Amino acid sequence: MNFLEEFIKKESSALTILIIMNRLGVTKKAAYIIVGVVLWVSVLKSGVHATLAGVDLRNVSLYQMTTGVPLGIMAGLFLGKQIGVFGFSWVAIKLGLAKIPDNSTWLQLYGVSILTGIGFTMSLFVNSLAITDGNLYQQADKLAVLIASFSAGIAGYLILCVAKYND
């Protein structure tokens, strides 16, 4: 079995376990965390791309984070994605091209729209292709991706919590 086949087998097994746990109604976070860690380690060890392993951010300054590209990255991931997803969903629903899912609210749709800002894998990958010399601006861009993704995750989670208790 070659390397790629072995990776796909391990990743598929972890994903299959996660799906089965979900279908069986497993609600313990620890179970998902354990299988998720196995999945993450499988991806990390696979060598698929180094951007999945993390970046050195010690030398990134506040000045670098307030320049055009990092600010654009953060705005695009955190604001742009939620505005685009929610906006186009709203238009499609209002025009009758789509229907809001049964037992769902607009606030829940908005919360999920915010979660679309979690997009670090492809963003980091594209960043690594665009800037190949490893300069500090590349590191600032990577930090911007991580900040935007983390912010989108927290904000989306909080909105969905509010939506859950407003039912």
Domain-embedded: residue 83? yes
Average pLDDT over residues 1-10: 54
129 and 63, same structural domain?
A: yes
Residues 37 and 99 in one domain: no
Given a cut of 70, whether residue 11 has pLDDT beyond it is: no
Supply the pLDDT for residue 10.
Answer: 58
Same domain (yes/no): 79, 149: yes
* 3 state DSSP class of 49: coil
pTM for this predicted structure: 0.64
Q: What's the average model confidence in pLDDT over 121-135?
A: 70
pLDDT in tens, 54-102: 466 677 888 888 888 889 889 999 999 999 999 999 999 999 999 998 9
Please tell me the predicted confidence (pLDDT) of residue 69: 84
Domain assignment present for residue 12? The answer is yes
Q: Which domain holds residue 23?
A: 1-48
What is the distance between the alpha carbons of residues 71 and 78, in angstroms, rounded to a whole number? 10
For 101, list phi and psi in degrees, rounded to 5.
-55, 145
Task: Identify whether residues 135 and 85 lie together within a single domain.
Answer: yes
Residue 53 in any domain: the answer is no
Please name which of 76, 51, 75 lies closest in space to residue 138, comparing C-alpha atoms.
51
Confidence bin at 13 (pLDDT 50/70/90): confident
Same domain, yes or no, for 87 and 161?
yes
Q: How many domains does the chain have?
A: 2
DSSP class of residue 98 equals: S
Q: Which tens digit of pLDDT belongs to each residue from 103-120? A: 999 999 999 999 999 877
Per-residue burial over 82-98, b = 16 or more CB atoms within 10 Å of its CB, e = otherwise: beebbeebbeeeeeeee
**Same-domain pairing of 41 and 122:** no
Helices and strands: H and E segment counts in the chain: 8, 0
Question: Do residues 121 and 43 make contact, with C-beta atoms less than 8 angstroms apart?
Answer: no
Say how far apart CA 143 and CA 161 lie, in whole Å: 27
Amino acid at 74: M
133 shares a domain with 71:
yes
Residue 157, C-beta contacts closer than 8 angstroms, at least 6 positions apart:
111, 115
Q: Are residues 43 and 98 in the same domain?
A: no
DSSP annotation of 51 reads: G
Query: Mean pLDDT over all residues of the chain?
Result: 82
Q: Per mean pLDDT, which range of 31-35, 111-115, 158-162 is the poorest?
A: 31-35
Q: Identify the weakest region by mean pLDDT among 38-42, 74-78, 122-126.
A: 122-126
pLDDT at 155 over 90: yes
Q: What is the pLDDT of residues 143-153, one digit of tens each?
A: 888 889 899 99
Say what the pLDDT of residue 50 is.
46
